[in-house]
């Protein structure tokens, strides 16, 4: 049995977590009709309730916010009811669960938006693909959002946060990472606006901060977190000044009193050293919980925790194939290997049928 503070309880905002292992958001493209979480979703998340905290797959705040096939929403009564089945399943097993809310911005396709163009800070097409029509296709050409449209997007996040509480979630994570709308505004590779939402570091951060403030005001800062990725090139995003930019953003997030910042350290799902960046600067600037993410295993998480470089540690793909990841890490047990062919879309296969370690040993 591995002895490490990683498996000790931790207080996050208004909730107590059973350990410091976080299940990172993982897009699985299995929502049903009306973009309602599938019947299998409650089973899937319930199987993983031994994580200290589950952060759900990214969930759109409006119809316009969708960028991938069969991703769930949180803006209709049916979607709220679907998510309530999920939160009930997790809570029944003693788990804690936040929903990640997103607007994908330019990372979308006209076929997902009823023929409408995706929206963005500026009409700059991203050099990336999205999952649509059961396959990957280039994203569509976006249009630049008008200034008078931005309050509506802030309100969409606020309403979705209120819906999250109705659905029984313990809190909300704002998705400000991985090249989606809020990060598109924040980074000058995607934002060439000349109004109050473009140009300076302060102006480019404005929408991300307004959204986070609205969510915190709606549900309480102690139930609000945000995910950011200062140097990740995910979805064709880039920044000329990430350190200055994110030092400023985190100073403002700290002033809002939110529960946590969730950092993608390096390239999302790729090298941790993709570009120079001082994450310690953000750690010092933020007075509450720092969730560290990207490429973590037991050894790295244990070392970073001992060195004071994070409070909670998010594991992504290992949770897909290992519903009992926390127990496996504690036991030093081998991990199931993921089947790449079943990550996106489909049914129970590659979703709810990965075995627990106890089940494999009991067969011997």
Q: Which residues are catalytic?
A: 180
Q: Are 211 and 154 in contact (CB under 8 A)?
A: yes
Beta bridge partners of 216: none
Between CA 106 and CA 141 the distance in angstroms is 8
Q: Where are the alpha helices (DSSP H) in the chain?
A: 39-47, 77-92, 150-166, 181-186, 201-219, 242-256, 279-285, 298-306, 317-321, 325-331, 357-362
Between CA 226 and CA 172 the distance in angstroms is 8
Structure-token match 């390096």, residue found:
266
Q: Which DSSP letter does residue 28 get?
A: -
Q: Read off φ and ψ for residue 238, nearest 5 degrees.
A: -155, 155
Copy the structure tokens of residue 126: 């991203």
Ordered DSSP codes for 105-136:
TTS--GGGTTTPPPEESSS---S-EEEETTEE
Whole-number Cα distances in Å, 288 to 4, 99, 253, 262, 299 = 21, 19, 10, 11, 24
Copy the structure tokens of residue 55: 């952060």
> Hey, what's the torsion of the CAs at 62, 63, 67, 73, to 10 degrees?
60
Q: Where are the alpha helices (DSSP H) in 52-108?
A: 77-92
* Closest by Cα among 84, 9, 85 to 50: 9
Q: How many CB atoms neighbour CB 336 within 10 A?
A: 19
Between CA 229 and CA 267 the distance in angstroms is 8
Between CA 331 and CA 146 the distance in angstroms is 54
């Amino acid at each position: 049995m591995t002895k490490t503070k990683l498996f000790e309880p931790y207080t996050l905002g208004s909730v107590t977590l059973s350990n410091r292992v976080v299940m990172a958001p993982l897009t699985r493209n299995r929502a049903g009709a009306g973009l309602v979480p599938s019947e299998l979703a409650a089973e899937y998340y319930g199987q993983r309730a031994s994580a200290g905290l589950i952060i759900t797959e990214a969930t759109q705040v409006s119809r316009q916010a969708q960028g991938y096939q069969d991703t769930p929403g949180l803006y209709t009564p049916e979607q709220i009811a679907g998510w309530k089945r999920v939160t009930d399943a997790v809570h029944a097993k003693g788990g804690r669960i936040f929903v990640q809310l997103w607007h994908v911005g330019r990372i979308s396709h006209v076929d997902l938006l009823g023929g409408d163009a995706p929206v963005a800070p500026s009409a700059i097409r991203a050099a990336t693909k999205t999952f649509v029509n059961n396959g990957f296709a280039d994203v569509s050409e976006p249009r630049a959002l008008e200034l008078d449209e931005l309050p509506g997007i802030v309100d969409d996040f606020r309403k979705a946060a209120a819906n999250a509480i109705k659905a029984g979630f313990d809190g909300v994570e704002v998705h400000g990472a991985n090249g989606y709308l809020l990060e598109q505004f924040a980074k000058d590779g995607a934002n060439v606006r000349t109004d109050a939402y473009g140009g300076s570091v302060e102006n480019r951060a404005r929408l991300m901060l307004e959204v986070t403030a609205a969510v915190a005001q709606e549900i309480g800062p102690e139930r609000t977190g945000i995910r950011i990725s200062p140097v990740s090139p995910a979805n064709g995003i880039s920044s000329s000044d990430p350190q200055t930019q994110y030092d400023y953003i985190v100073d403002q997030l700290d002033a809002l009193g939110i529960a946590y910042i969730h950092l993608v350290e390096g390239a999302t799902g790729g090298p941790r050293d993709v570009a120079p960046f001082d994450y310690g600067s953000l750690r010092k600037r933020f007075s509450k919980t720092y969730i560290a993410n990207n490429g973590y295993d037991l050894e790295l998480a244990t070392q970073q925790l001992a060195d004071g470089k994070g409070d909670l540690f998010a594991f992504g793909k290992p949770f897909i194939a290992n519903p009992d990841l926390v127990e496996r890490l504690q036991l030093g047990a081998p991990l199931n290997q993921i089947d790449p062919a079943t990550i996106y879309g489909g049914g129970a296969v590659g979703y709810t049928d990965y075995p627990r370690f106890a089940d494999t040993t009991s067969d011997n």
